Each structure stands twice: as C-alpha cells, then as structure tokens.
C-alpha cells in the first residue's frame, strides 16, 4: 500500500472493485480505521447512522461520544481485540440504543488497521425473536426435527421429539443419533444409517414406535448439510407421522382383500370393462372367468378387449354398452354361446354414472347350460307326452274300429250260420265258417301285433342271433305271399343276389320283418308290381322291397314309423289296420343292428331298404 489510505485509499483497483458490489440491507455497521483513526472503509449502514465516510476522521464525532472514546482508548492500548456494550446515539435518528461493539486489531503488510463492528442489541433481539418464532412454529406444527453437529450429537430438538421418544430435553442433548434410534431400528437398518452418514448421503426409514400398546408409524428423513466453513457436515433429522395413512392403507387393503375374496368366490363369471371414449379395455376378472377364457389377467390388464376375448363375445358386449349409454339404461342382458357345452346368460351393469367418455361396466355371466338342457328336456318330455296322448287317442280310435268291425262280422256270420243250419244249407255254412276264421285270424294278428309292440317298447324282447343266408329267408316269405299277390293280379317277382348274402340276425325276427313289409306292399298296391331283391355291396347286404302302390307323402314318412299311425287317420281311411306294421319292422331292424330306410312318393310307389353288415360265410347255416 503506497498511500495513507492503505489498501482502500485513493483510486486503488481494490476500491473500484469493491464499489461494484451491492450491499444487502440491515447489516451490522462495519468500519475500518488506519493508525490515524481515519476511515479507510465504511459500509453503507455505518455511513447512514454516523454520517461519516471514507477519508473522514473519527474525531468528527461528538468528543463526548462513547464510541469515540472507546476506539481511541483501544488504539492506545496493546489489546488484540475487545468487545463491549455501549449506549450509542445515531446521527440519522438522534435516538439512543444499546449496541454491542467489537474491535479487532489487524496488521496487513506491516500496516495496522482497526476493524470495528457495531450491532444493535435491538436487531439481535429481532433475530432472536425470529429464531424463537421459528422454533415455536415448529413446535406448534408438531414437526419432530433434530439437528446434529459434525459428530452426530443432538444440538437442537423440537418439543415433539421429546414427546415422540418420551425423553426430556436433557436426555436428548448431546446424545448421538445411533443411541437415540438404537431401540427402534433393526441391525440391518442401523448399518444403512451408518453407511449413509459415512457417505454423507440421505437416509430414509419407516420406524414403528409403540406407546401404551398403540403402535405409531413414523417416516424419518436424515439430510446432511454443511456449515459456513464447509469443512464439517451436520445433519437434520425430520419425521412425518404416517400412522393414520398406514392404518387407512391397512383398512383399504383389508377391504380390497375382502372384495377380492368375495369376487373370487362368486360362482358366476365376472368381468370388469373400462370404456374410454370409443375404446373398451380389460380392467379385471375373477378366476372363474380367466379359467373359462384361458387368460392371464395380469398380462392383459388394460388391453383392448378385442385383443383378449373372442369376437363373438366382444361384439355383443360393445353393442349392448353403446345401447345402455344411448338409452341411459342402468343394465342390459344378452345370451352368449361359448361352446357346444357352455351357454351363458350375460348381464351388464355400471356402478358409475353413464358417460360417453369414461365409464366402468361389470359383466356377469351365469352358466345356464344345465338349465337350458333341463328346459329342452322338459320341452321334449312335454312333446313326448303330447305325442303319447295323441298315440293313445289314435290307438283308441283305431283299436275300437279294428276290434268292433271283425266282431260285428262274427255276430253277423253266426246269425247266418243259424239260418244255414235250420235250412240245412251246408254249402253256405262252410263258406260262412271260412269267412269267420278269416276274421278271427285278422283279430288274432292284431292282438299279436299289440303284444309285440309292447314288448319292443318295454325292452322285453330277446334277440337270438345266428349267421344265415338272407336270400333263403326272402325266398320263404315270397313263396308264402305268392298266392295273396296273385289274387290281386300283381306282378310279384323276386331277384336275389347270386352269391350268398350272409348276415348275423334273429332268423324269426327277420322273417317277421319281411312278412310285414311284403304284406304292406301287396295291401297298398292295387295294380302294378311288387319286387323283392337282395344286393351285396361293400361288405353290406341290402334287402329291398319295392312296389308301385299308392306311396306315402314325404312329409309323412317319419310319422308312419310311429306306433298306431297311418297316413290317413279316422274311420274313413281306405285300408284296415292300426298302423303297427312299419313300426314293428323298423324297430326290429334297429334292434338287430340294421339300417331301415324308406323312399316313397305319393302315387309313385314305395321302396324299403334294410341293410345289415355282411358276415363271414364259413359260419353259414343251411336251413334246407
């Protein structure tokens, strides 16, 4: 320094540089004097209060001013520093205030300076009040806060900390964090805390603190900070009471657990869909739904439903939801056939207000497969009952006619026989007896048919299977029926397959079948022909009876196979019989494992084909 102002005098670069900085308000008054007690530096606060600046002498102050005497006295002594409280009159206000004065002797480049700092005790009180207010605010806010020194010893704690750890202030101060938290954290958490302090990192932990059998949950946060010298690191430990949050969370989790348990125990399928604008997303489903549709609900959470479920379910769901929104309806229903074995009745409801933008929808799917099958069975049973009632009515109508007619004939024949005996007309008598025998034979055939149908329907009929040549059975029946066909002047022919047509059937039952079929063919053919043929094709034997008779309407073919049915019903029907012939032939064929087929057209004749599997001819039984 080359002038009397030292490092701050004249137009030095240091002075120019210092003047470029702005001073913050409400600072201490700071002034620097040289050995002559001239001011070489004064901050704005000092200049404002004392009306003095650089180059001014302290002697400009009132000679009786206590600050003047204090500085002069210190300059004349050999003390390094000094502090004292004095009553100071300020030039800007003329008021007196109690202040703290610090004087420090500094030597720079062999030049002595006096650094004087003046702080109003009133200002200090304001600062202290601020600190106290802050402290009170922390206590009022019940925020537990601990501040440590560089050795992690507690140097500050709010009252909430005392209450939290059930310790008074004396038991907290200068206790380390490790000692304070030892009883509340595990060994592993203690290691984490130690590591965080060593690395000067943040530490966070949820700690349980029990009081009077009540557990509280506190989240502790430890944050490092550096003091002004930045050489040492201290820590602030703050805590947040999460007890209510934890308990609420536990209640919510327990509620969700119960809801999930209820959801999973619902036997119906349950699906939750979220609609956002025009898109439908998979939200959740119970386990039964996931099993039926073979999906992982975690994998497909919030996926578009068209990517998760089959289209035949997605289309009705979207359509029904759109209709619900359009009609402002709270629910909708539809049926869904998942597979041949699974049929569902679906109901869509929403727990929220319907919106075209965002809504939640619950789809419940009730398995109605068994119920539907039961309903179908009931309907079938009802139809069967109706059919049985009709069969009973038809049977009573037919049987009464069929029984009354021959017995009326027998009564008439018996009266004629009496007359013949009285008149000794033996030729007529023989004729009447033959006619009576024919009528009785027809009646006996009716009763036999009734008994046979009853046995077939009840399952009492027995099948005695043998391997036989079906050609021989056809020829036997043909020969028995030849005379009857000739009496109607029909072209009655038989054309049998050259090779043996071996089948495994009941011989008597097979004869019975063709007795019925050929008898019907002759009965319902007034003119034309009746043909009997056999064929051996692809290991199957087909036995055919074809006529050119009145035929059957195609719509009536299934009906005439039922018991007691003829194509034309009632007393005016042109042919006698109760309609049991085709029923007996069809049922016997099926009982022996054969196939019974009718092809007919009204007024163009009928062809009946019976087919049995061919058997090996080595077991052939020759019946002749």
pLDDT (tens digit per residue) in 76-105: 888 899 988 888 776 656 677 788 899 999
Q: Cα separation of 287 and 267, whole Å? A: 10
pLDDT digits (tens, 9 = 90+) for 49-66: 888 889 999 888 877 678
The pLDDT mean for the chain works out to 81
DSSP H or E run through 97? strand 96-108
- Of 159-163, 320-324, 533-537, 608-612, which range is least confident? 159-163
Question: Residue 192: its pLDDT value, please?
Answer: 92
Q: Over 80: is that where the pLDDT of 352 sits?
A: no
0.85 surpassed by pTM: no
Question: Residue 402: its pLDDT value, please?
Answer: 61
CATH superfamily of 267-367: PAS domain (3.30.450.20)
CA torsion sign, 132 to 134 to 136 to 138?
negative
Q: Cα separation of 95 and 116, whole Å? A: 21
> What number is the average pLDDT over the span 128-142?
68
Read off the pLDDT band of 9 (50, 70, 90): very low
Whats the size of the chain, residue-wise? Answer: 624
* DSSP class of 91: T
Closest CA to 466 of 426, 409, 505: 505
Long-range CB pairs of 471-475 (<8 Å, 24+ gap) are 471/496, 471/497, 471/500, 471/501, 471/534, 472/623, 472/624, 473/507, 473/510, 473/511, 473/514, 474/514, 474/532, 474/534, 474/543
Q: Cα separation of 576 and 553, whole Å? A: 19
> What number is the average pLDDT over the span 382-387?
83
Q: Using alpha carbons, list the distances in angstroms from residue 543 to 182, 481, 546, 573, 617.
A: 103, 17, 10, 30, 17
Q: Cα separation of 354 and 332, whole Å? A: 13
CATH, domain 6-121, list 1.25.40.10, 3.40.1650.10, 3.90.550.10, 3.30.450.20:
3.30.450.20
> What number is the average pLDDT over the span 246-266?
72
Structure tokens at 97: 């205030």
* DSSP class of 22: P
Question: Residue 260: its pLDDT value, please?
Answer: 66
- Say if residues 288 and 266 touch (Cβ distance below 8 Å): yes
- Say if residues 512 and 483 touch (Cβ distance below 8 Å): no
Read off the pLDDT band of 14 (50, 70, 90): very low
DSSP H or E run through 624? none
Geometric angle at alpha carbon 328, from 322 and 332, rounded to 5°: 60
- Say if residues 273 and 283 touch (Cβ distance below 8 Å): yes
Read off the pLDDT band of 140 (50, 70, 90): low
Please provide the distance, in angstroms rounded to a whole number, between the alpha carbons at the two ends of the chain: 158
Strands of the 111-120 sheet, one edge to the other: 39-42, 29-33, 111-120, 96-108, 81-89
Closest CA to 507 of 620, 616, 598: 620
pLDDT over 70, % of the chain? 80
Question: Residue 446: its pLDDT value, please?
Answer: 66
DSSP sequence for 138-169: HHHTT--EEEE-TTSBEEEE-HHHHHHHT--H
Q: Cα separation of 89 and 50, whole Å? A: 9
- Say if residues 593 and 463 touch (Cβ distance below 8 Å): no
Question: Residue 287: its pLDDT value, please?
Answer: 84
CATH, domain 372-451, list 2.30.29, 2.60.420, 1.10.287, 1.20.120:
1.10.287
Q: Over 50: is that where the pLDDT of 623 sits?
A: no
Read off the pLDDT band of 529 (50, 70, 90): very high
Structure tokens at 393: 């009515």
Q: Using alpha carbons, list the distances in angstroms from residue 2 to 31, 109, 110, 112.
A: 21, 11, 12, 14
Question: Residue 545: its pLDDT value, please?
Answer: 94
Candidate ranges 43-47, 201-205, 570-574; pick with highest mean pLDDT: 201-205
Q: Cα separation of 67 and 51, whole Å? A: 14
Q: Over 70: is that where the pLDDT of 243 sits?
A: yes
Q: Using alpha carbons, list the distances in angstroms from residue 331 to 349, 359, 421.
A: 4, 13, 91
* HEC sequence for 283-347: EEECHHHHHHHCCCCCCCCCCEHHHCCCHHHHHHHHHHHHHHHHHCCCEEEEEEECCCCCEEEEE
Q: Over 50: is that where the pLDDT of 516 sits?
A: yes
* DSSP class of 573: -
Please report, for the chain, the start and end positions of each structural domain, with discontinuous segments joined by +: 6-121, 141-247, 267-367, 372-451, 462-619
Q: Using alpha carbons, list the distances in angstroms from residue 82 to 9, 73, 74, 396.
A: 25, 11, 8, 141
Question: Residue 453: its pLDDT value, please?
Answer: 67
Read off the pLDDT band of 420 (50, 70, 90): confident
CATH of domain 141-247: 3.30.450.20
Closest CA to 180 of 195, 191, 192, 164: 164
Question: Residue 33: its pLDDT value, please?
Answer: 93
According to DSSP, the residues that pair with 343 across neighbouring strands are 337
> What number is the average pLDDT over the span 195-216?
87
Q: Please give the distance of CA 107 from its chain centroid, rounded to a whole number.
A: 86
- Say if residues 533 and 521 touch (Cβ distance below 8 Å): no
Structure tokens at 179: 């000692």
* DSSP class of 605: -
Structure tokens at 581: 């012939």
* HEC sequence for 221-258: EEEEEECCCCCCEEEEEEEEECHHHHHHHHHHHHHHHH
Q: Cα separation of 408 and 404, whole Å? A: 6
The reply to whether CATH 2.40.110.10 applies to domain 462-619 is no
pLDDT over 90, % of the chain? 20
Same fold, 267-367 and 372-451: no
Burial of 263 (0-12, 13-18, 19+ CB in 10 A): middle
pLDDT digits (tens, 9 = 90+) for 591-605: 889 999 999 888 889
Count each helix (H run) and each strand (E run) in the chain, helices first: 17, 22
Q: Over 60: is that where the pLDDT of 474 sits?
A: yes
Q: Over 50: is that where the pLDDT of 533 sits?
A: yes
Backbone region of residue 445 per phi and psi (left: phi > 0; alpha: psi in -120 to 50; beta: other values)? alpha
């Amino acid at each position: 320094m080359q002038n009397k102002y030292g490092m701050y005098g004249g137009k030095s670069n240091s002075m120019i540089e210092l003047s470029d900085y702005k001073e913050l308000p409400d600072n201490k008054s700071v002034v620097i004097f040289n050995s002559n007690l001239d001011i070489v530096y004064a901050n704005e606060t000092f200049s404002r209060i004392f009306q003095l600046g650089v180059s001014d002498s302290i002697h400009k102050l009132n000679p009786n001013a206590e600050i003047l005497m204090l500085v002069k006295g210190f300059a004349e002594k050999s003390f390094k520093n000094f502090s004292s409280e004095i009553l100071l009159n300020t030039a800007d206000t003329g008021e007196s205030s109690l202040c703290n004065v610090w004087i420090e002797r500094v030597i720079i480049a062999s030049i002595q300076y006096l650094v004087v700092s003046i702080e109003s005790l009133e200002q200090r009180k304001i600062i202290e009040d601020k600190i106290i207010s802050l402290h009170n605010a922390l206590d009022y806010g019940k925020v537990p806060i601990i501040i440590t020194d560089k050795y992690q010893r507690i140097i500050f704690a709010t009252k909430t900390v005392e209450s939290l750890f059930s310790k008074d202030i004396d038991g907290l101060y200068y206790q380390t964090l490790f000692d304070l938290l030892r009883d509340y954290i595990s060994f592993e958490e203690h290691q984490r805390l130690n590591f965080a302090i060593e690395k000067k990192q943040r530490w966070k932990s949820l700690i349980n603190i029990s009081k009077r059998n009540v557990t509280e949950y506190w989240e502790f946060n430890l944050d490092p900070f550096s003091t002004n010298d930045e050489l040492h690191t201290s820590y602030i430990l703050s805590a947040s009471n999460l007890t209510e949050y934890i308990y609420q969370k536990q209640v919510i989790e327990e509620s969700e657990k119960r809801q999930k348990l209820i959801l999973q125990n619902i036997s119906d399928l349950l699906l939750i869909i979220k609609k956002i604008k025009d898109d439908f997303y998979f939200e959740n489903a119970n386990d039964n739904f996931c099993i039926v549709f073979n999906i992982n609900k975690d994998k497909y959470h919030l996926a578009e439903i068209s990517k998760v479920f089959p289209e035949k379910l997605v289309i009705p769901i979207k359509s029904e939801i759109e209709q619900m929104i359009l009609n402002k309806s709270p629910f909708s229903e539809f049926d869904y056939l998942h597979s041949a074995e699974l049929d569902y009745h679906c109901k869509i409801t929403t727990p929220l207000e319907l919106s075209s933008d965002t809504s939640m929808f619950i789809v419940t799917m009730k398995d109605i497969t068994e119920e539907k099958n039961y309903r179908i069975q009931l309907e079938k049973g009802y139809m069967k009952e109706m059919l049985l009632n009709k069969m009973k009515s038809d049977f009573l109508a037919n049987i009464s006619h069929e029984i009354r007619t021959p017995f009326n004939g027998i009564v008439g024949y018996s009266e004629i026989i009496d007359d013949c005996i009285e008149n000794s007309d033996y030729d007529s008598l023989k004729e009447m007896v033959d006619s009576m025998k024919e009528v009785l034979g027809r009646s006996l055939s009716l009763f036999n048919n009734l008994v046979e149908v009853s046995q077939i329907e009840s399952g009492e009929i027995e099948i005695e299977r043998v391997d036989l040549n079906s050609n021989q059975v056809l020829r036997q029946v043909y020969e028995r029926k030849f005379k009857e066909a000739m009496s109607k002047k029909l072209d009655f022919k038989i054309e049998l397959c050259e090779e043996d047509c071996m089948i495994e059937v009941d011989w008597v039952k097979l004869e019975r079948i063709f007795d019925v079929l050929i008898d019907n063919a002759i009965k319902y053919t007034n003119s034309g022909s009746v043909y009997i043929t056999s064929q051996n094709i692809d290991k199957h034997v087909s036995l055919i009876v074809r006529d050119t008779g009145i035929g059957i309407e195609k719509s009536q073919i299934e009906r005439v196979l039922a018991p007691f049915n003829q194509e034309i019903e009632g007393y005016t029907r042109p042919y006698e019989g109760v309609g049991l012939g085709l029923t007996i032939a069809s049922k016997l064929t099926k009982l022996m494992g054969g196939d019974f087929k009718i092809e007919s057209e009204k007024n163009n004749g009928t062809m009946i084909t019976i087919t049995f599997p061919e058997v090996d001819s080595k077991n052939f039984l020759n019946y002749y």
